[in-house]
Amino acid sequence: MLYDALIAPFLEFEFMRRALAGVVALALGGAPIGVFLMLRRMSLVGDAMAHAILPGAAIGFLFSGLNLFAMTFGGLIAGFSVALLAGLVSRVTVIKEDASLAAFYLVSLAVGVTIVSMRGTNIDLLHVLFGNILALDDQTLLVIAFNATITLVVMAVIYRPLVIECVDPVFLRTVSRAGAPAHLAFLALVVVNLVNGFHALGTLLAVGLMILPAGIARFWSRDITGMMMISVASAMISGYFGLVLSFQTKVPSGPAIILVAAVLYVFSVLFGNVSGLVRQLFPGRHLEA
């Protein structure tokens, strides 16, 4: 029974194996990025940027249909453009960066949906908004894996300044000039991984496997390295059981993955050993001298 439910779908169907490989790549690339978004209090920025890539992907769709490289390139250009424009507006006007991003992402979402609706069908619109990880082809899987590899390599290079900036940004500015380049590289990685998530989960859920696993990890570890490892593991678990849930029921694959992650998040809120509600209500005995 457990074999038929948990293992057989991945042995019998190639599309399930591709989807699982895509989930693993998304977890390896996106979950560590989510940890730093959370620690830098930029979680909602990630959500705004996920919507910002839509018009670029939609323009790629307008000219080439559901062409992988056109939509990827368009999404990257749109994401970088919105990030730069929002930063510019916040620096030269009285509008703060969060309000500037909110304005741009709402405009981007409206423009993207309009473009897809004018050219495509309701099925195309649903594909763009919610994705379909069960329909990943070899090219898409290779792009996701390549982006995840680039993310891990760049993260290894900028890891130290990112950690120091999360802990003490003033200290980093006084001892090094690596803060600004590391921040720009980090924003670039955010956009790259949102484009990854867009292909698998759609623009509305692209940020899900970045933020929810990071929130889960925060309740189980105080160490950044530990949080990154837990976030990657929880993203993989959410992806695996989400695919199983989608296969066994009529729940779409993307929402199923995010729902499993949400269940893990609620469990962590209740029982996590770092500020979990049950832990706070029933603290263990402290060692006495």
| Domain CATH code at residue 154 | 1.10.3470.10
In a domain, 277, yes or no: no
pLDDT at 276: 84
Distance of CA 78 to the CA centre of its chain: 17
Is 217 inside any structural domain?
A: yes
pLDDT at residue number 106: 78
In a domain, 286, yes or no: no
What are the CA-CA distances from residue 197 to residues 3, 99, 149, 193 (Å)?
29, 24, 14, 6
Establish if 223 belongs to a structural domain: yes
- pTM of the predicted model, to two decimals? 0.84
**What pLDDT score was predicted for residue 133?**
85
Provide the domain count of the chain: 1
Helix axes 97-119, 54-64, angle to 10 degrees: 20
Which pLDDT score, from 0 to 100, does residue 289 have?
45
Neighbouring C-beta atoms of residue 141, cutoff 10 Å: 17
In a domain, 117, yes or no: yes
The C-alpha angle 211, 212, 218, rounded to 5 degrees, equals 90
- Quick one: CA torsion of 28, 32, 38, 40, rounded to 10 degrees? -150
Q: What angle do CA 154, 200, 166 make, to 5 degrees?
A: 35
Determine the pLDDT at residue 28: 94
Q: How many CB atoms lie within 10 A of CB 71?
A: 25
List, in sequence order, the alpha helices (H) in 53-137: 54-64, 68-92, 97-119, 122-130
Q: In whole angstroms, what is the distance from residue 272 CA to residue 220 CA?
A: 5
Residues of the chain predicted below pLDDT 70 = 1, 65-66, 91, 94, 96-98, 119-128, 284-289
Range of the domain at 132: 2-270
